[in-house]
Amino acid sequence: MAIVRLRPEDLRRAIADGTLSLQFQPQVHAPTGKLVGAEAFVRWPHPSYGMIGPGDIIPLVEQGGFHVELDRWVLTAACGQLARWASGSLDVPIVAANIWAHTLRAPDVVDIVREIVLASGVPLGALEIECPRGTVRDASLAEPARRLRALGVRVASEELGDRAIAASARDFDTLKIGYPLARDLLVAGSAAADAVTAIVEAARSAGARVVADSVESPEQEDALRALGCEIVQGYLYGPEVSAAELQTLAAAGAKRSAE
């Protein structure tokens, strides 16, 4: 078997050439089946090794140190796709994208994001930046996140799973419930329900939305809805798919909810 040898310089060239691609996972309002957002994930269609995912992309970016370049490409592609959806027949109100801590700390991060969004023609509030872990407690990340939010871009966090930092909810537009909490809701004796309740209460107080990630079963969805979380994403509604396939998933989700 041939050994796959991926090189940082090849990925950097793919970024410069614009030969990466995005896939999207729907965020669905469970009671209605309505598509209320999508999260963007970068993929690398490699000419020799096929589709390369984040497990291989992340270490190459770390080795090469081109975090900002990759994030600039992802945000540009995400906003461009939003604009194409807006001119077509699919209403995607929000597209979320993760960025690296290196990018959030960049002195010109606000200028970078402003330039990308305005060039695409989409509203600033249609882009949601999913902040890296550490943003809640690290001032070097929290301050630029606040400046992005002041610009009009949405910011999201997946760090507010305990009551001690629930007050930080006011700094975010979306609070995400991550995989461990969504999974453990169905585990007897788990404290996950208390954590989810704390997130939902903090979001309501701050006027933020709550999105549960990695929801894979109707039982998980039901448990989340019982606790007040109505927006879900995960394999229950579909995996990461191309922009064209997202419309099919959105239609299927709406039909299933109506049954």
* CA–CA separation, 150 and 127 (whole Å): 13
Tokens 């089946």 sit on residue: 33
CATH 3.20.20.450 holds for 18-258: yes
Amino acid, res. 168: S
Domain ranges of the chain: 18-258
The average confidence (pLDDT) of the chain is 90
Q: What is the pLDDT of residue 240?
A: 93
Reported confidence tier of residue 47, pLDDT bands at 50, 70, 90: confident
Amino acid, res. 238: G
Q: Lowest-pLDDT range, 119-123, 136-140, 183-187, 250-254?
A: 250-254
3-state helix, strand, coil in the chain (%, to 5): 50, 20, 30
Q: Say whether 38 sits in a helix, a strand or coil.
A: strand
SS3 labels along 96-128: EEECCHHHHCCCCHHHHHHHHHHHHCCCHHHEE
